[in-house]
Chains A and B, each alone.
Chain A
Amino acid sequence: MRVIEYISKENTKNWLEKLDAKNDVFLPVQDLQEARIGFLDYKEFKKLVQQSKESPEKRYVINHREKTALSPKYIFFPETEKLFDFEYLKDIENPEKVELRLGAAEKTESSGRIILFGLKPCDAEGISRLDRVFGEGDKKDNYYMEKRKNSLLISIGCNTPFPDCFCTLVGGSPFNFENADIGMVEVNDGYAIVKISDDAKDLISENREYFDKDIDKTAIEEEIEKIIKSSAEKIGHTWEDLPREEISKIMDESIGSGIWDQITKKCISCGACTYVCPTCYCFNIRDEQKGLQGQRYRSWDYCMNSYYTLEASGHNPRPDKSLRYRNKVNCKYNYNIKRHGHIYCVGCGRCIEVCPVSMDIREAVKTVIDNRQQASD
């Protein structure tokens, strides 16, 4: 990996401060009291830090080493988002006459860009998956695209992956910066910058003073090689190779088999796995009305919910949880390969971590593959 720039940790803080002046910077913040970690607006973070000076039991720190509880997808695709307002206008002179007015959700006034700092390569990959869903096809999703097209992703590689990480199984790696605008590796007391996209060049060129001039690139590159090697050893696979070329076909063949009943037995259809998933994109649309005014919202939805496909007539094309879980796994390891050319699982492992009944998507996929092999033996 070729080192382009180097920035010390001290200077990274200054750099972020500078970036935040002109842009909306989001970064992974940990609440030390509750141990929760999530992406937060830098301005919000500074406010919390300020407040915590008054109540010292509360402390907030930037922590890009651990996984955030939720993927950062909500910065571009919020859990709940207003699509537009509607209003019925009554004519007092002529009460029979009611006019209807619609207004698109006003854009937030910000001339700057959205910058995600310190997101993991798997999360950057997750965002690239959503880009395909919302940006491809005849009709685009302008709510997502408006935010996304004006954004930059600054990714930091994972020196210490977690036991439930499996990015390498689905074609990623802890140092995959393909989807990042700036790729960084934590070395010694700073970060080596190994990728800079054209769009992100100005983030560095306008802040040259923070980047070290005299660095021994060869020494840092050697250090990075060591880090990559030790990181690879820590990736916790329960099994080695996913037949990525064939997986779609294997999944297709499993659809009529009873294997899904067996795989789904434990599942309680709570949907936590989809809530934390960086690539799940399903949503519901609902109206909220009070008096003559209201809003249409969209909010995250999940295919494990029996209401998800329930039609007004009472007909439900996926009445059993095994059919719903089968859909979920196939959506990721089959259908979206056909639709968008990629596995819609980036191996972040969050679904494994949050599942209250210890379902493991790796196990589900492996069971399908093993079942097929057994059948052909």
Chain B
Amino acid sequence: MKDENSYLPEIATVKKIIKETPAIVSLQLVIDDEEKRNDFSFEPGQVGQLSVFGFGESTFVINSSPSNKDHLQFSIMKAGVNTTALHNLTEGEKVGLRAPLGNWFPYQKMEGKNIIFIGGGIGLAPLRPLIMYMLENKDKYKDLTLLAAAKTPDDFCFATDIETWEKSKDMKVIMTIDTACDMWGKEVGLCPNVLESMKPSPENTIAITCGPPIMIKYTLEVLLKLGFAEDMIYTTLERRMKCGIGKCGRCNIGDKFVCVDGPVFSLKELNQIPEPFM
């Protein structure tokens, strides 16, 4: 019966809570049912629905590495009713989980290419499992570059990861903040502007970006200006979602549903949808 019901979540336990920024926490979850836990697998970019029963259910990307069998990680920015309830959880408490949902980054098609990741704020979350996958399979990919942007130095999500990646020889990391401040020895400027000054070559390179809508909008413009082809640019979108299985209607962009046809789209796919996605 449980398997037939697409709306009934699995119960999962919060194993660990990581305070990422003043507004963002990461929850590491473990599915209670042993069989379901062992059978669980997902692809980088797929999402899950988290419930705090009594408050609601919302969609977040699974941002742990697909090879990580210990837990599933989700990062949540405090914004509304359910995200506040998720922030108020303590370790050991239970949540509902429906996952994995949606499509994923076509990482196999990206083999043999340079990849540039452009993540703003919590927009780094959907890129994280892909970055981790590609670092674990570095021999399949050429140069990896990450441009991570945040409002202030305190607003970087996954600071420990970024630090590790910075030290790794497998990925070049550039960090930028919106406005200058003391004790910041790195880039200053809005993400699209920094990207433009970096002048990454579009030659055999795929660009993958996620961030607030306004950042995505201008980043896509810059990428096109730099000569990236529409099918070499990927983004992952957010919409208000409820059912997560293409029934309830609300996450549509034209005839596509972000929950089942997305959340990952190439710019080429997005430009074929008549309704503007921004």
Known: A309-B250, A311-B239, A331-B252. A104 touches B2 (CB 8 A): yes
Given contacts A283-B242, A311-B240, contact A142 B53 (CB under 8 A): no
Chain B residues in 8 Å Cβ range of A285: 7, 56-57, 242-243, 248
**Is A281 on the interface with B (CB-CB < 8 A)?**
yes
B7 touching A84 by the CB < 8 A rule? Answer: yes
Residue of A283, A303, A313 most packed against chain B (CB within 10 A): A313
Given A86-B53, A284-B242, A294-B54, check contact A142 B255 (CB 8 Å).
no
Q: Which of B54, B248, B250 contacts A289 (CB 8 A)?
A: B54
Return chain A residues, CB-CB under 8 Å to B253. 317
**CB–CB A335/B11 < 8 A:** no
Is the beta-carbon distance between B245 and A139 smaller than 8 angstroms? yes
Closest residue on chain B to residue A134 by CB atoms: B247
Min CB distance A312 to B, Å, is: 3
**Bound-state Cα–Cα, A334 to B256, Å:** 12
Q: Does A83 contact B (CB under 8 A)?
A: yes
Q: Is A58 in contact with chain B by the CB < 8 A criterion?
A: no
Residue contact A335 to B9, C-beta cutoff 8 Å: no
**Chain A, Cβ-Cβ closest to B257:** A339
Q: How many A residues, CB 8 Å from partner? A: 52
- Which residues of chain A in 85-111 are interfacial with respect to chain B, using CB atoms and an 8 Å cutoff? 86, 88, 96, 98-100, 102, 104
Contact with A along B119-132 (1 / 0, CB 8 A): 00000000000000
Contact B274 A142 (CB under 8 A): no
Task: Please give, as numbers and ranges, the residues of chain A lying within 8 Å of B181 by CB-CB distance.
Answer: none
Q: Which residue of B lies closest to A311 (CB)?
A: B240
Interface string of B1-16 (1 = CB under 8 A from A): 1101111110100000
Whether B93 is near chain A, meaning CB under 8 Å from some CB there, is yes
Bound CA span A104–B237, Å: 31
Q: Mark B242-267, 1 if CB is under 8 A from A, else 0.
A: 11011111101111000010000000
Decide yes or no whether B213 CB sits under 8 A from chain A: yes
Q: Does B236 contact A (CB under 8 A)?
A: no
Contact with A along B221-252 (1 / 0, CB 8 A): 00000000000000000111011011111101
Q: Which of A86, A100, A308, A336 has the most CB of B within 10 A?
A: A100
Closest residue on chain B to residue A309 by CB atoms:
B240
Main secondary structure of the interface of A (DSSP, over half): mixed
Binding site secondary structure of chain B:
loop
**Are B240 and A335 closer than 8 Å at their CB atoms?**
no
B81, closest chain A residue (CB): A312
CB-CB under 8 A from B56, the residues of chain A are: 285-287
Closest to B32 in A: A100
**A333: min CB distance to chain B, Å:** 12
Nearest Cβ distance between residue A306 and chain B, in whole angstroms?
A: 12
Contacts of B245 in A (CB 8 A): 137-139, 141
The answer to whether A301 touches B248 (Cβ under 8 A) is yes
Which interface residue of A96, A138, A139, A255 has the most chain B CB atoms within 10 A?
A139
Bound-state Cα–Cα, A311 to B274, Å: 22
Which residues of A sit under 8 angstroms from B79, Cβ to Cβ?
A: 311-313
Query: Which of B's residues lie within 8 Å of A, judged by CB?
Result: 1-2, 4-9, 11, 51, 53-58, 77, 79-83, 92-94, 96, 212-213, 238-240, 242-243, 245-250, 252-255, 260, 274-277
Residues of A within 8 A of B (CB): 83-84, 86, 88, 96, 98-100, 102, 104, 133-134, 137-143, 251-253, 255, 281-287, 289, 294, 296, 298, 301, 303, 308-313, 315, 317, 327, 330-331, 334-336, 338-339
Q: A83-B8, A315-B213, A331-B249 are in contact. List 17 more A-B contacts (CB 8 A).
A: A84-B7, A102-B11, A141-B245, A282-B250, A284-B250, A285-B56, A287-B56, A308-B250, A312-B80, A313-B212, A317-B253, A327-B252, A330-B274, A334-B254, A334-B255, A335-B252, A336-B255
